[in-house]
Chains A and B, each alone.
Chain A
Amino acid sequence: QSVLTQPPSASGTPGQRVTISCSGTSSNIGGNYAYWYQQLPGTAPKLLIYRNNQRPSGVPDRFSGSKSGTSASLAISGLRSEDEADYYCAAWDDSLNVLFGGGTKLTVL
């Protein structure tokens, strides 16, 4: 069981807005930045959000991140079929380990 807790699944219809949560503690998300990764089927993960709410070049602004206290969230607006993927949150822990959430499988209905 992961220290960072994510819902195992989420779903939405095209055009909808979907939010995925990531719950941690004061030792990880509470005191460090949150990151989000997208893993399309059969491919390597890709950085989606870094430092809580920053998007790397090339990531559409439909993807946004936020953090409040010991939780972080990823929001996807204008949902598209190509957004169907696994999404992982991540953060440093104060013990200098990197923690990943268990992952959320997003289904576009």
Chain B
Amino acid sequence: EVQLVESGGGLVQPGGSLKLSCAASGFTFSDSAMHWVRQASGKGLEWVGRIRSKGYNYATAYAASVKGRFTISRDDSKNTAYLQMNSLKTEDTAVYYCTGATVTTLPDYWGQGTLVTVSS
């Protein structure tokens, strides 16, 4: 059974930093691209970015809204993906989903999400 478990969410002040983790199991993590997608309360889905596998040199891509502030990384030895968020803004407040692209190039499995609240 595929499982993606996010952790690290919480309350942070504007301008602060937070690092989310995503522990994966049930699929070949090292061969899969990992995406982060967020959803503000009552709003739609917004793609944050993705990291590809070693075979693609761990290439990353980011949405314009987070480029230069957020960094996605992975540790294949721990089957874990990360989202480092710096210079956080109030508009970054959302549930952040870790997702895996195991068969296709877009997310096919989703974690339960972790809430990030940016507020003073």
**A interface residues (Cβ-Cβ under 8 A, vs B):** 2, 33, 35, 37, 39, 44-47, 50-51, 56, 86, 88, 90-92, 96-103
B37: which A residues are within 8 A, CB to CB?
45, 100
Instruction: State which of B21-29, B43-51, B85-93 sits at the interface with chain A.
Output: B43-51
B interface residues, tally (CB under 8 Å):
22
Instruction: State which of B11-19, B73-81, B99-107 sits at the interface with chain A.
Output: B99-107
Partner of B45, one of A33, A51, A103: A103
A88: which B residues are within 8 A, CB to CB?
44-45
**B interface residues (Cβ-Cβ under 8 A, vs A):** 35, 37, 44-47, 50, 61, 63-64, 97, 103-113
Identify which of B45, B47, B104, B107 gathers the most chain A CB atoms within 10 Å of its CB.
B45
- What's the nearest-Cβ distance from chain B to residue A5, in Å? 12
The answer to whether B61 touches A96, judged by C-beta atoms less than 8 angstroms apart, is yes
- What's the nearest-Cβ distance from chain A to residue B96, in Å? 11
Q: Which A-chain residue is minimally distant from B104 (CB atoms)?
A: A50
Could you list some 12 contacts between A and B, CB below 8 A? Answer: A2-B44, A33-B104, A44-B97, A46-B110, A50-B103, A86-B44, A90-B106, A97-B47, A100-B45, A100-B46, A101-B44, A103-B44
Partner of A35, one of B63, B104, B111: B104
